[in-house]
Structure 1
Amino acid sequence: MTSSKFSFTEIFSITFMTFGFIFGAGNVIFPPILGFKYGSDSFSAVLGFLSSTSLLSLLALIAFGIMQGNLTKFWTKKYGKGFIAVLYLMLGPILCGPRNGIVSFELGLKPVLLQTHLIDGSSLSLQIALLVFTVVFFTFSLWLSLTPSQLVTTVGKVITPLFLLLIFILSVPLFFTHFPSIAPPNYDHNNSAYISGFLEGYNTLDVTCIPVFGIIVFDTLRRRAIHSSKGIFKSFVLTTFSAPIFTALIYIAFCYIGLSEAGKTTAALSGPQILLAYTQAHFGWFGEVLLGMAVFLACLSTAIGFIVANGEFFHEMFPKISYRKIAISTTIITVFIANIGLTELTHLTQPVLNFFYPILIALIICGLFTPLMKQPKLTNYAVVGVTVIINTLSIVHYHIGSLRQLPLFDNGLGWLLPMACTLILCLFLPDNDLLFDSVAD
């Protein structure tokens, strides 16, 4: 079957499935902070945020399709598998997975428990409630993950459409919100608003989702008997390109929510607190219920996605260990790490993302330009290598005079220009015997 034989419903079901995998806890809690913190500079901050999230995700999907589901295709098997394995662990039990359980608790069950006085608000009672909730939440996610072939139906046709409906209902007051004055910006001005927004986008983990969850879409297409490189590429892009567009629209809405709340308090609110304040103001207790349901569904779809992705990937790597055992082990580890707490987990996440995101961006750019490369393997190693070296020196604050002169070096983006220059130089390398059968052929 070719991509042209997909029905309209099937296209949107796979699109919604892809969106559901990408849009999780980080996508909920970070965008409201943009409007709240950046105030009159929000427009520039949102542009930066969208650049490192939705736009880069769209480019990543195209690159992933060109590379036929393997961005590290030109690396040695050892290094390629190792790097992708780290991404799976990051999006699975170590970083992204636990965050989904915590945020779902913070915006869903916790407000209800406090208002009904089922817990007294002490740290011990909250910790016990979080433990019970995460056990139930991830057990339910595991149960839905044990039938990967049903993901298009479970996530694409049920969970994600319902989530989008709830988000639309919650967003309706935004059409009638007027600002007598926009709050002044309140952020570190060492970076421009655009650069700050770009770096804030790392926290959503959107781009790291593509190599992990994209393979699930590829497997779905292969089950539809699409086997040719060109057919898979076209079908993959057709059924996924709308997902980043949906995320962009929701990011803008959530930023607008943050902007609407910025002038009402001088306190530094977190993303969940901003969303709760907004829903309480416009919908009362019913808004809290709607928000809790929406966040639960968003986190649930991502939790299902990472359990399935980890189960299938590590089962393929270690065939003697069943998919079921890996999925259960992933869930247990996720529950354990989730009970560390959201603040501690965020502090752990930031340095990891600062290291891995530039590598992913370099791989995406290489993937996009692969059909034009005469020596794709050498180009990949050169571009990624330069990116890793410059970015690592920036992270450890290794102050070499010439490096400090690089644009945006002090902002953590000093690797951008060397990466681009290396890529351009490699495009002019002479032919060799390494062949690449691109989907454009």
Structure 2
Amino acid sequence: MEKLTKKQLLLLASLIFGMFFGAGNLIFPAHLGQLAGEHWLSAGIGFLISATLIPLSALIALSQTRSQGIFDIAKPVAGWYGILFLILCHLALGPMFATPRTAALGYQFSFESLVPKRYDQLGLFLFSAAFFGLAYYFSTRETNLLKIIGKLLNPAFLIILFAIFAIAFIHPFGTLQHIPADQAYGHGSTIKGFLEGYNTMDALAALAFGVTIIRTIRLLGIKKEKAIASQTIKAGSLSMLLTAGIYLGIIALGAMSLAKFPLSDNGGIALTQIIRYYFGQPGMIVMGGLTILAVFTTAMGLIASFAQDFSAHFSILSYKGWLRLTTLLSFLTANFGLDAIIAWTMPFLMLLYPLAMALIIPGLFAPLFKHDRVIYRLSTAFAALPAIFDAIGALPIQTTLTKNLTAGYHQIIPFATQGLGWMIPTTIGLGLAIVLHLFRKHSALETVAE
């Protein structure tokens, strides 16, 4: 059987980690740790489920279904749905939210403090222009991704991060017991941690990055579909194991920091305070370097996967043509500012995550039901309505109509108030689909016997 060498496997795992782990993956767990306080571990478990286990499940589902990317895993619902889901996911991960967020975060935690407030917009414009210009340049050749992210940028990022961990845990702020938690985390901290993991967008990113990971494995000489699936699972597991360890470390740091600092408005402030405490003012250079490395590798992965998927399904433009378009649009969106980007991200996530789960869960067990389309169709149909209501409820602008709609939805559907209204309907849809599949299978066997 074809397989990667140990060195190649580690490089691929490094590439996957580098594409997934952006600045949001630094700041969200830091803020979660502060909010959760003494409940940091239970909140952290919830965060790990949505931010590492589900993305890994998505990679496994892609492998189990032999899918090349988003379109292939959604296609069993219907061809038009596969195209629609591909477009929506890549818009959210691409020029609308995730990719612009990389530049906005990179600027906020590196150069923003050095630029006078009146020139803030100009500073963001110049930074994002240089940022996306370099991301485009290094992504024009697909072979560059493994070399630049896997061999260079990601190892540099990990060295800086582990140096911070080493110093922080040798000289901790305090213990992890009896730390006051935010009132909202006094009960149900695991669910709140789970929902906080949505913000990383990694479950969607896993579906989008599938095309990049599979193409990279092919470039390394693996051609057989079964071998590609096996190597994807191995490298993905290594990457997510590393990610989970880092998340728990950052969450613990965030919780311990409450011994020295008050609850911050966001994880970026919390992380900045932690690094400044241990490294002084020079630590801001460390923070800037850490953030830029994190966001740059993710930006490269996002624009490359966008261009790879769109060039495969919409031949009106080549890979480089789509790469130019998503890079330009991401640059324009980044200049609306981080607050505006984040405000409109959550509604899209609340819509797309349930739809993604309705594909990922059946995909994990696809060989057991012979890839029967009815499984995907019913699970997606039952997930769609709660997803739409969750998206409406997360809109930053609410009207009387939207409030009334979501109020009724919250009263009727279990867990809807926690943002998990999709779970029960999707489970019911999946159960009905399995029953229907087994019934049709049994009927077919009886027909053959007669």
Q: TM-score, normalised by structure 2?
A: 0.88
Bigger mean CA deviation after superposition, 291-300 or 184-193: 184-193
Q: For the residues of structure 1 that align with 2:411 and 2:291, how far apart are their CA atoms?
A: 42
Give the one of 92, 105, 109 matched to 2:111. Answer: 109
- Correspondence list, 1:197-212, <5 A: 197-212=193-208
Name structure 2 gaps, 5 residues minimum: 393-403, 445-450
CA RMSD of aligned residues (A): 2.3
Choose which of 403, 412, 424 in structure 1 pairs with 2:419.
412
1:345 CA drift (Å):
1.1
- Quote the residue 1:422 is aligned against: 429
Q: Aligned-pair distance for 1:414?
A: 2.2
Residue of structure 2 in register with 1:148 after alignment:
142
Q: Paired residue for 1:331?
A: 327
Give the conservation status (yes or no) of the 8 Å contact 1:22–1:206: yes
Alignment-mate amino acid for residue 16 of structure 1: S
Amino acid at match of 1:86: L
For the structure 1 residues 399 and 332, does the alpha-carbon distance in structure 2 shift closer, same or farther, using more than 3 Å as the test? closer
Q: For 2:77, which of 75, 78, 92 is the aligned residue?
A: 75
Match of 1:35 among 11, 24, 33: 33
Query: Would you say the 8 A contact 1:105–1:133 is kept in 2?
Result: yes
Partner of 2:384, secondary structure, is helix
CA contact (8 A) 1:102 1:338 kept: yes
1:171 aligned onto 2:165: yes
| Larger mean Cα displacement after TM superposition, 95-104 or 266-275 | 266-275
* 1:173 CA displacement: 2.3
Any conservation in 1 of the 2:97–2:341 contact (CA below 8 Å)? yes
- CA shift digits 1:165-189 (9 cap, x unpaired): 1110111123221526643111436
Counterpart residue identity of residue 244, structure 2: A
Q: How far off is 1:25 after superposition?
A: 2.4
Q: Which amino acid aligns with 2:79?
A: K
The one-letter code matched in structure 2 to 1:125 is Y
Task: Kindly indicate whether residue 25 of structure 2 is the aligned counterpart of residue 18 of structure 1.
Answer: no
Structure 1, 74-83 or 387-396: larger mean CA deviation: 387-396
1:161 matched residue in structure 2: 155
Is structure 2 residue 234 aligned with structure 1 residue 241? no
Alpha-carbon offset, residue 432 of structure 1: 5.7
CA distance in 2, matches of 1:399, 1:110: 38
Report Cα offsets for 1:127-152 as digits up to 9, x if no partner.
11111111111111111011112211
Superposed counterparts of 1:53-64, under 5 Å: 53-64=51-62
Q: Are 2:348 and 2:391, in contact at CA under 8 Å, matched by a contact in 1?
A: no
Matches within 5 A, 1:26-425: 26-69=24-67, 70-111=72-113, 113=114, 119-120=115-116, 122=117, 124-176=118-170, 177-179=172-174, 182-188=178-184, 192-266=188-262, 268-373=264-369, 376-396=372-392, 398=405, 404=411, 406-425=413-432
Secondary structure, counterpart of 1:410 in structure 2:
helix
Amino acid at match of 1:81: I
* Contact preservation (8 Å) 2:29, 2:247: yes
Cα deviation for residue 241 of structure 1 reads: 1.6
CA contact (8 A) 1:182 1:263 kept: no
Q: Which runs of 5+ in 1 are unaligned?
A: 114-118, 436-441
Secondary structure at the aligned position of 2:109 is classed as: helix
Residue correspondences, number: 424
Judge conservation of contact 1:170–1:290 (CA < 8 Å) in 2.
Answer: no
In the alignment, the residues of structure 2 paired with residue 24 and residue 355 of structure 1 have an alpha-carbon distance, to the nearest angstrom, of 22
Aligned AA for 2:123? Answer: A
Offset at residue 161 of structure 1 (A) = 1.1
TM-aligned CA distance change 1:160 to 1:80, over 3 Å: same
Distance in 2 of aligned mates of 1:140 and 1:422: 46
- Change in CA separation of 1:41 and 1:93 when aligned onto 2, cut-off 3 Å: same
Please tell me the residue identity of whatever aligns with 1:153: K
Q: Secondary structure at the match of 1:155?
A: helix
Indicate how the Cα distance of structure 1 residues 331 and 402 shifts in structure 2: closer, same or farther if over 3 A, else same.
closer
Deviations 1:314-345 (A, max 9, x none): 22223232222221221111111111111121
Q: Structure 2 CA distance, aligned partners of 1:231 and 1:27?
A: 30
Deviation at residue 216 of structure 1 after TM alignment: 0.7
Does the 8 Å CA contact 1:375/1:432 hold for their aligned counterparts?
Answer: no
Say if 1:84 and 1:211, in contact at 8 Å, map to a contact too.
no
In the aligned structure 1, how far is the partner of 2:317 from the partner of 2:60?
32
CA distance in 2, matches of 1:403, 1:148: 46
Contact conserved, 1:103 with 1:342, CA < 8 A, in 2? yes
Q: Give the aligned residue type for 1:241.
A: S
Q: Indicate the percent of aligned positions where both proteins have the same amino acid.
A: 29
